[in-house]
Amino acid sequence: MRIDVVTIFPDYLAPLDLSLVGKARDSGLLDLRVHDLRDWTTDRHRTVDDTPYGGGAGMVMKPDVWGAALDDITGSEVERPAHLVVPSPAGHLFDQRMAARLADDPWLVFACGRYEGIDARVMADARRRVRVSEVSIGDYVLGGGEAAALVIIEAVTRLLPGVVGNPDSLVEESHGTDGLLEYPVYTKPPSWRGLDVPEVLLSGHHARVARWRRDQALRLTAERRPDLVARLDPDALDGRDREV
C-alpha cells in the first residue's frame, strides 16, 4: 500500500518511523511519503492560509496551494486510484470497519488541515477526479489533522497482510467480528501484589477458557458500551450469552 501525507508540519509524522508502521515501511509492505504543503506555495512568505469569506474568527487554508499539491501527488501514478482522506471533526466517524475498508485501498492520500480547515472547494474539486472521504476520529476538536492521520494510518497499517506477526491477534480483539470488547488478559506470574489470575485460565480446559472469555467480553461490553450491545446480531447469541 502507498500512503502520502500532506501537512505543514512534516516533523509531526516522525512517529511513523517507529514500531509497527516503521517495520511495515522497512519491509516494503508500506510505501509512506510525507510532504510539506509549503513546497507548493509560490510567494516569498510561503503562505498557506487567508481570511475567511463571510468573516469570523481564524484563517482558512488556501485552495490554490492545496490544489497544486494534490494535483502533483495524485497525478503521479496512473495504475493506482488514489483515495483522498481529509481528517475533519465534521467528517464520518472513524471505526474499525472503516479501517478495514481503507486497508483494502491501494493508495491513501491524507490532507492534514490546520486553522479553521481547508477551503471546501479543494474537496469538491478533488471529488471530480478521485474518491474523497472526510473522516473524524472522535467528537472533539484537535489543532490539526496530523494526530488524526497518525491514528488512522496505524489502525489501517496493522490490518495489512503480513504486518502483524500472528494474524489470529486481529480476529479476537475489541471491535472485531463478534462486535464485543475484548476480555481482560493476563500473563505470568499467576499471583502478583495479592492479585490472582482467574483460576479458569490456568486450567488448560479450552472450552471453559473460551466460555469465560466470552462471558467477560459480554459483561465488559454491556457495562462500558451499551451502544455496541444494541448492535449485536441476536442470532449470533446463545442461551448462555443472554444470561450474562
Q: Assess 117 for contact with ligand SAM (CB under 6 A).
A: yes
Q: Assess 53 for contact with ligand SAM (CB under 6 A).
A: no
Between 48 and 112, CB nearer to ligand SAM: 112
Query: Minimum distance between the CB of residue 140 and ligand SAM, rounded to whole angstroms?
Result: 6
Query: Minimum distance between the CB of residue 120 and ligand SAM, rounded to whole angstroms?
Result: 11
Applying CB under 6 A, the span of 71-79, 134-142, 167-175, 187-195 interacting with ligand SAM comes to 134-142
User: Among 139, 166, 135, which Cα is nearest to 152's?
Assistant: 135
Q: Assess 89 for contact with ligand SAM (CB under 6 A).
A: yes
Applying CB under 6 A, the span of 68-76, 142-150, 159-167, 212-220 interacting with ligand SAM comes to 142-150
| 108 neighbors 85 (Cβ within 8 angstroms) | yes
User: Among 159, 155, 156, 214, which Cα is nearest to 182's?
Assistant: 214
Between 60 and 82, CB nearer to ligand SAM: 60
Applying CB under 6 A, the span of 10-18, 108-116, 184-192, 210-218 interacting with ligand SAM comes to 108-116
Query: Minimum distance between the CB of residue 61 and ligand SAM, rounded to whole angstroms?
Result: 8
The three-state secondary structure class of 28 is: coil
Classify the phi-psi angles of 62: left when phi > 0, otherwise alpha if psi is within -120 to 50, otherwise beta. Answer: beta
Strand duo 2-7 + 107-111: pairing: parallel
| 149 neighbors 86 (Cβ within 8 angstroms) | no
Distance CA 146, CA 114 (A): 9
Residue bearing cell 518511523: 17
Binding site for ligand SAM (CB under 6 A): 87-90, 112-114, 116-117, 136-138, 140-145, 148
